Chains A and B, each alone.
Chain A
């Protein structure tokens, strides 16, 4: 077991061209990924997109069909799972039913003959606020408690890389927020590398240094949470992280700084070249609902502003701080606008004919306009 060492800090993980085929089905396709040492990396994606499969390959529980896994520069693709300094918080918890909570948490420490296993395990239980159930068995705990035990059982080993497969999914909102803070603290204190899989985009955005959005076995886009939100590259990402309005169109002309995109209905939209992931052919223009303004009647277009006119308000919901409008633009589909109620109360009513506008530099150009299927993911 020479390969296993208690790490004082995290290690860099690199996936090179990782692929996993199941009979007649590709679960993970040619995945490239680097997670820096000590980074909090969130993997986000709809159900069945291959997140768990990716984690299992990194943990050594599944052999990749192709590709390499490097941990701290060392190729561990063929290293046995029990020799990898990697621990997993399993989506299904996988607690040992025949052992007490304490023994569950101490399991990894005992296997490596760590001398102060007892103190470490108790400290880990304290961390997840479960020291009082140390003598119980997993079947005697609630789902959320079991999940926290699973977390303690993995963290106590201080692995070079911690894999978390939706570790907070079963917790109520308050506890989830507490655990998020706790996790983030542990990660920062010990400097562990975290690979955190989640369905919850807010969790990913608030906790992670880097977010990767996965879809159909490949990574659509990754980057810092702010830049992912500000500048999504595909319609899938635009829809999966927050809400977006997307207008399909064709690039009609472009100069050095701006692309013009013709959309159905004779309107032309502009998007900065620097904010577009495609510059010719099919280009969709997207914009976040809170970056848009709503106007009664028609508005004259300007060079620095995109305007779409002739929509009919189909829904207004007043939430206090802001109002949310649903506007039907016929062939362009439905557009959602959030307006803060800074000064006056809502000025447009249900059934009004309105225009929407946004600053050109607030929009983004997408290289596809596939209607994103995220139903499964939003069921949580």
Chain B
């Protein structure tokens, strides 16, 4: 009997993974199809476009033929490298500022306000509330507020904190400000999620083991919230590096603040230079991938995720 029972279970065990893996594949199918159709296909098309050459038989703008014009990369990068530098500079700056602003907010909601769930819920709503208004409208609102006739500029000027011919909109400051503002909720939410699970007894163990409150923060709280910090910084950095709204002259930027996103937009929509726009997109994507993979490895969160 006993042996029969053992044989039974072991058979079941070996049969189960097969069944399970079939179910898993079935469940993955829609996602795989989606990725294939809406990610892989456009990516291939993008890369093919980036090597296109002007159509020799047409004098019209925007006429290109498939080719292997690798020189596209050389010319486009040499003409646009400064936009890349600016993009990543702005994105890193916005990410760092958003992190510094968001961590205390997330800590307040996830740890400090734990005894008062109502306050937690209210603060979370405040963080999410901006999502109820379109991102474009919110950025336009900031353009109004920070514009030359807005009260911010007039007040600063009357207090002589801004020269009489000074602006806020159109400067690097206002672009980084806009990026930071727009991505703060994406930073707060993942950090909040990790801090919310933080076991307070670990902080007590830290205090018991001679760690001052600040040491406990650096050695216990921060490492344990790293998954949230990594997720938040990625969710901010990646879209911020490709952003073309904040830096555009119609919003918070000006001629001197153009980012790669703006170059892609104008190449694609105005000059109709599709290969150049594609080269910029491919390079942007590649650089982001390199930066992100180095960052994730350095942050050492594999064990925590």
Contacts and interface: CB of A to CB of B under 8 A. Distances in A.
Interface of A: 1, 4, 59-61, 80-83, 86-88, 90, 92, 94-98, 107-108, 111-112, 137, 153, 157
A80 B219 CA distance: 18
A108 B210 contact: yes
A59 B208 contact: yes
A133 B139 CA distance: 54
Contacts of B206: 82, 96, 107
Q: Which 5 pairs show the lowest CB-CB distances between chains A and B? A: A108-B209, A94-B205, A111-B210, A81-B207, A94-B201
Given A94-B202, A94-B204, A97-B224, A1 B303 contact: no
B207 A61 contact: yes
A98 B303 contact: yes
Nearest to B200: A94
22 contacts: A4-B210, A59-B208, A60-B207, A60-B208, A80-B207, A82-B209, A83-B210, A90-B201, A90-B208, A94-B205, A96-B202, A96-B205, A96-B220, A98-B220, A98-B224, A107-B206, A107-B209, A107-B211, A111-B210, A111-B215, A137-B303, A157-B209
Interface of B is mostly: helix
Contacts of B202: 94, 96-97
Interface in B135-187: none
Interface of B: 199, 201-202, 204-213, 215-216, 219-220, 223-224, 226, 303-304
A90 B219 CA distance: 19
A343 to B, nearest CB: 45
B201 A153 contact: no
A94 B224 CA distance: 13
A87 to B, nearest CB: 6
A99 to B, nearest CB: 8
Contacts of B201: 90, 92, 94
A60 B210 CA distance: 11
B211 A87 contact: no
Nearest to B209: A108
Contacts of A92: 201
Contacts of A111: 209-211, 215
Contacts of A108: 209-210
Given A61-B207, A88-B205, A111-B211, 11 more contacts: A1-B210, A4-B210, A81-B208, A82-B208, A83-B210, A90-B205, A94-B199, A96-B205, A96-B220, A98-B304, A111-B209
Contacts of A153: 209
Residue with the greatest number of chain B CB neighbours at <10 A, chosen from A80, A90, A94, A153: A94
Contacts of A107: 206, 209, 211, 219
A164 B105 CA distance: 36
Contacts of B205: 88, 90, 94-96
A60 B281 CA distance: 57
Contact of B223 (A59, A82, A98, A157): A98
A60 B213 CA distance: 13
Contacts of A112: 210
Contacts of A61: 204, 207-208
B195 to A, nearest CB: 14
B220 to A, nearest CB: 6
Contacts of B226: 98
A130 to B, nearest CB: 18
Contacts of B212: 80, 82
B225 to A, nearest CB: 10
A86 B204 CA distance: 13
A92 B303 CA distance: 22
Contacts of B210: 1, 4, 82-83, 108, 111-112, 157
B217 to A, nearest CB: 12
B208 to A, nearest CB: 5
Nearest to B226: A98
Nearest to A4: B210
Contacts of A98: 220, 223-224, 226, 303-304
Nearest to B201: A94
Contact of B209 (A1, A80, A87): A87
A334 B211 CA distance: 55
A1 B207 CA distance: 13
Contacts of B224: 97-98
A4 B224 CA distance: 27
A28 to B, nearest CB: 18
A137 B208 CA distance: 20
A106 B41 CA distance: 53
Contacts of A1: 210
Contacts of A96: 202, 205-206, 220
Given A92-B201, A98-B223, A82 B304 contact: no
A223 to B, nearest CB: 30
A82 B224 CA distance: 20
A96 B207 CA distance: 12
Residue with the greatest number of chain A CB neighbours at <10 A, chosen from B199, B210, B212: B210
Contacts of B199: 94
A87 B215 contact: no
A87 B208 contact: yes
A82 B215 CA distance: 10
Nearest to A163: B208
Contacts of A97: 202, 224
